[in-house]
Amino acid sequence: MDGSGEKLRVGVIGATGYGGMELVRLLLGHPHVSLTYVTSETFQGQPLGEVLPHFRGFTNLTLHSFDPTYATNSRDLLFLAWQPGRAMEVAPELLKHGVRIIDLSADYRLKSADLYERVYKQRHASPKLLAEAAYGIPELWGDAVKTARVVACPGCYPTGALLGLAPLLSEGVIDPADVIVNAASGVSGAGRSKFELGFHFPEMDENYRPYNVTGHRHRPEIEQQMTALCGEEARIVFAPHLVPMARGELCTVYCRLTRPITPEEAQGAFERFYSGRPFVQVLPQGQLPATKNVLGTNMCHLGVAVDTHANRVIVMSAVDNLVRGTAGQAVQNMNLMFGFPETAGLMLPGQYP
């Protein structure tokens, strides 16, 4: 498909989770896409606009239970918006029917089946596809995305961290084995089905707390992709936090310099690296990103500072975890895969306040 003529036929598997419903929102407004299939095991048989009233008047689609044969019938692409563990079971069968896949779960992000088993505590059901799957950050691995049958779309933490680290790794001015990533995300990053006590409103409101500071499952993923960028073994400290807001993510990354650089050199490295990339905005020197400024957009705002006293460079990134950190990035990958303009359906200004 060359981006013109007949519309791309797509389906969203898991359309009533936070990531899935954000995908539906973006796809309904995409000029080159026809959304023809949406699924939900919880709300099967019900109109999408009744289950999710913010879609009333925009679609007449009915939610189905997932069926592999029906899912692949007259469809070009399927977005798999499930929790980890399900995509790897059905992807091989879907691919046999010629359908391409963008997986929003973590099933194809790690290249090693052994590492996947250690991190996610289960065996990988389709390990042969791990090497084939493209890692879906378009600014960093866009060439692989264009021809991929399977794209592993990363979540908000790896996206924010890796976009912030890539220019410095490319320049070779930081030690990839001495990086600290301090990240904070809105509660929607945990998913719509998270019913544990710690996610209830009284527990989260006016609260700010770290979690999984020595064993978060995204740490091996970030280290894997850092190594792919610089060719050296990466090792990070990764400290995620929950913030009492619905959506948004801010990463602050502390990197040890291997040689002195000036603030102007650091700023120039970022501006060169992301020149011409519409969804990464390098802020002017001295300005810092904020989650409110990217709300509802596919943008990543980056700020960089050099701390000569500590021999560190500090990078800050802000993304909307449900758009750039999930559904928007998935659509951006789709645009590359099918020859559409990279910005198609995504050039939306932010919501404010």
Same fold, 8-153+325-337 and 157-320: no
Kindly state the tokens that stand for 217: 């499952």
Which CATH number describes the domain made up of 157-320?
3.30.360.10
Catalytic-residue membership of 156:
yes
Is the CA virtual torsion 225, 228, 230, 231 positive or negative? Answer: positive
Whole-model pTM: value is 0.96
pLDDT of residue 138 exceeding 70: yes
Q: What is the pLDDT of residues 177-225, one digit of tens each?
A: 999 999 999 999 988 876 788 888 899 999 999 999 999 999 999 999 9
Residue pair 46/59 in contact by the 8 Å Cβ criterion = no
Q: What is the pLDDT of residues 270-281, one digit of tens each?
A: 999 999 999 999
Catalytic one of 153, 156, 255, 300: 156
Domain limits, the chain = 8-153+325-337, 157-320
User: What are residue 135's DSSP bridge partners?
Assistant: 152
Q: What is the DSSP string of 128-140?
A: GGTTTPEE--HHH
Confidence (pLDDT) at 192: 86
How long is the chain?
A: 353
3-state helix, strand, coil in the chain (%, to 5): 35, 25, 40
pLDDT category at 249 given cuts 50, 70, 90 is: very high
Confidence (pLDDT) at 11: 98
Q: What is the pLDDT of residues 154-180, one digit of tens each?
A: 999 999 999 999 999 999 999 999 999
Torsion, Cα 164 215 208 286, to 10 degrees, reads: -20
Torsion, Cα 15 19 22 26, to 10 degrees, reads: -90
CA atoms within 13 A on the CB side of 264: 0
For all residues of the chain together, what is the average pLDDT?
96
Confidence (pLDDT) at 131: 96
Confidence (pLDDT) at 352: 92
Fold of 8-153+325-337: Rossmann fold (3.40.50)
Confidence (pLDDT) at 3: 44
pLDDT of residue 129 exceeding 50: yes
List Cα–Cα distances, 194 to 39, 107, 189, 202, 302, in angstroms.
Answer: 19, 19, 10, 15, 30
Q: Over pLDDT 90: what percentage of the chain? A: 93
pLDDT category at 80 given cuts 50, 70, 90 is: very high
Is the CA virtual torsion 214, 217, 218, 219 positive or negative? Answer: positive
Q: Which residue has the higher pLDDT, 196 or 124?
A: 124
